[in-house]
Structure 1
Amino acid sequence: MLIDLHAKSDISEGVKLSPRQILTKARDAGLDAVAFCETLSTARSADILALASNEFPELNVFIGVEIPTDRGILLGFVPEVDAFYLAEEWRAITYMTTPAAEAVMQLFDKHNGVTIAARPYDLEIPFNMGDHIFTFDRLSAVEVFTPRVGALQNNFALEAATFMGLGTIGGSDPADDLDAVGRFATFFDDEIRTQKQLVEALKNAEFWAVQIGDVEQQASSRARRPSKGGSGRGRSGRSSKGGGGRRGSKGGGRRGSKGGGRSSRGGRSRGGRSKRS
């Protein structure tokens, strides 16, 4: 099953594409599902779900939220689309200031949800995550395929996920380029129909990021490993341009106790073929 786990629409500042445009392109691209992660906005979640149900019955649609923190961007998902989203109860930690990444992860843990590191090596993000990612033990996955950054930054993210034994995700994260939808996605072994099933899968199931087709990624902004976010450990990965697609590291069964480490079960890179529904 192919899911775009980081879709956005004009509900988010700086995005020019409507939810209907995103869903139309996702359907035409052969995706099975879309997760809308608007920037600091979930109040209109019910509108998106109603649109999908009425006009795009072939697509499953899920809701997350993109939250900028003091250590980069996190995507958060909870098992139910309830007051936590509809009344934006999560704003309790964001309305005064940029929240601490750890506080966001703790909040979603409290609500039986998951958090994902988004574009951790994007130097255009204020307070980018960088190698601080290695200090976080509550993450469920790392975004490693996104058109928002170049191949170098995506490969650094893939390297981090591999080192930490975390699952990998891909998503469109579009601004004004509708063609971004359908280029990157996340493949799940299991069929996922509900929000609760998605969160459970992100905690325990098999999933990995995929690049679909021959994707030209944005040129990397800097030809060195970002050190702004941490120690600068590691080496650059391989280019993802060309070919018939790639896989990120395989996820699944990694989540342990809050204070403990994770197994390295997902810690190998999976190269190779593109996935299509």
Structure 2
Amino acid sequence: MVFATRNRVLLIDLHVHSHHSISGVLEPEEIILRAKQVGLDGVCFTENQPFSEWKELKELGKVHDVAVFVGLEVSTDCGHYLLFFPDPKQVEPGAWFDSEEGEETTLLFDKVRAAVERLGGVMIASRPYDLRIPHPLGDRIFSLKGIHGIEVRNGRCNTLVNDFALEACFHLRFAAVGGSHTLDTLTKLGTVATLFGETIADEAALINALKEGNVWPVEISETPVLRNNRDMGDRGDRRGRDDRRGRDDRRGRDDRRG
């Protein structure tokens, strides 16, 4: 099946979990159907534990005409990472690290990096400034080697956390990507994704695009964009000022929580 032509870009969510993940509850098929409904060209199932059912996911994608890719999200002593390999078999249990099903596992960053390099894959730093996760990466991202990109838009992170990731990505000149981080609800699917500027037929092509930086993070909203204050009536100026104050207050509260 061909999911892109030379002149067509693809919108792919790089960070989705199904019930094959710890704490995941969603059926893969309902994720794929929802992805098609909201206009995504593809989704990446980045389960947070090894899984053997990746072939079934790809078949479901073919049935519903949605590109399906598979990877892993791993927790390390230096943050979380989305991993993609040219051979999707590497997501299976025991392929390159041992983990029991349902086991919360924190891996050594150096071990993960060595495995990814050996297997020709990519490492994408996921929500590096999210303080809610164990061992968040933070500013260590500026000194670590082997990272190919940064998730600068995560659907489950607040604006400040995402903006810190974006700033780091800008300075490091890494590939910038976005993912909904769908886990237990479909509400975020279709709001954050990654735009690919080339044909993506399989994981090998996905990896190549990420390494080449031919990707862009995308946030999608149904809220209409108002061109000027006249569109808003006489209250336009007052609403603008009030909204700025409200956003600042909310960001402060979110930051303390997160």
Alignment TM class, shorter chain as reference: 0.7 to 0.9
| 1:35 paired to 2:44 | yes
- Aligned match of 2:157: 149
SS at match of 1:222: helix
Aligned to 1:235: none
What is the distance in 2 between the residues matched to 1:116 and 1:104?
12
The structure with the largest helix share of the pair is 2
> Are the aligned partners of 2:174 and 2:213 in contact in 1 as well (CA < 8 Å)?
no
Distance in 2, Cα, partners of 1:20 & 1:81: 19
The equivalent position to 1:116 in structure 2, one of 117, 124, 133, is 124
Q: Who is 2:88 aligned against? A: 81
**Cα shift readout 1:148-195 (whole Å, capped 9, x = no counterpart):** 110000000001111111011111111222121000000111121112
Q: 1:121 to 1:107 in 2, by over 3 A?
A: same
Q: Could you tell me the percent identity over the aligned residues?
A: 34
Structure 1 range deviating more: 22-31 or 167-176: 167-176
When residues 190 and 96 of structure 1 are mapped into structure 2, their CA distance, relative to the original with a 3 A threshold, is closer
Bigger CA drift: 62-71 or 43-52? 43-52
CA–CA separation in structure 1 for the residues paired with 2:187 and 2:115: 34
> Is the radius of gyration larger for structure 1 or structure 2?
2
What is aligned with 1:49? 58
CA distance in 1, matches of 2:53, 2:142: 34
| Residues 24, 116 of structure 1: alpha-carbon distance in 2 compared, 3 angstrom cutoff | same
Give the whole-Å Cα distance in 2 for the aligned partners of 1:70 and 1:93.
16
Kindly provide the CA deviation profile for residues 245-268 of structure 1, in whole angstroms up to 9, marking residues without a partner as x: xxxxxxxxxxxxxxxxxxxxxxxx
TM-score by length of 1: 0.74
- Partner Cα distance (1:181, 1:140) in 2: 24
> 2:139 maps to which residue?
131
Report the counterpart of residue 90 of structure 1 in structure 2.
96
Q: How far off its partner does 1:206 sit?
A: 1.2
**What amino acid is aligned across from residue 76 of structure 2 in structure 1?**
T
1:96 is displaced (CA, Å) by 10
Question: Deviation of residue 90 (structure 1)?
Answer: 2.3
Q: 5+ unaligned residues in a row in structure 2: which ranges?
A: 1-9, 224-246
Residues 62 and 96 of structure 1: CA distance in aligned 2, closer, same or farther (over 3 Å): closer
Residue among 18, 28, 33 paired with 1:19: 28
TM-score with structure 2 setting the length? 0.79
Q: Equivalent residue for 1:188?
A: 196
Aligned length: 221
Q: Give the corresponding residue for 1:62.
A: 69
Cα distance between partner residues in 1 of 2:38 and 2:215: 20
CA distance in 1 between counterparts of 2:55 and 2:30 reads 17
Name segments (4+ residues, structure 1) moved above 6 Å: 93-96
Give 1:222's aligned amino acid. Answer: D
Q: Quote the RMSD (CA, aligned, Å).
A: 2.4
Q: 1:197 aligns with which of 198, 202, 205?
A: 205
Q: Could you tell me whether the CA contact under 8 Å between 1:93 and 1:104 is conserved in 2?
A: no
| C-alpha distance 214-139 of structure 1, shift in aligned 2 (>3 A) | farther
Secondary structure of 2:145's match?
coil
| 1:201-248 deviations in Å (ceiling 9; x for gaps) | 1111411111012589x9664259x9xxxxxxxxxxxxxxxxxxxxxx
Structure-2 change in CA distance of 1:204 and 1:93 (3 Å): farther
CA offset digits 1:86-119 (Å, max 9, x no partner) = 3441224898962211221221111011000001
The separation in 2 between residues aligned to 1:210 and 1:121, in whole angstroms, is: 19
After superposition, give the CA deviation of every residue in 1:123-168 in whole Å (9 maximum; x if it has no partner). Answer: 1101111111111221111001112110000000001111111011
Please give the alpha-carbon distance, in whole angstroms, between the structure 2 residues aligned to 1:93 and 1:203.
Answer: 28
SS in 2 for 1:191: coil
SS in 2 for 1:89: coil
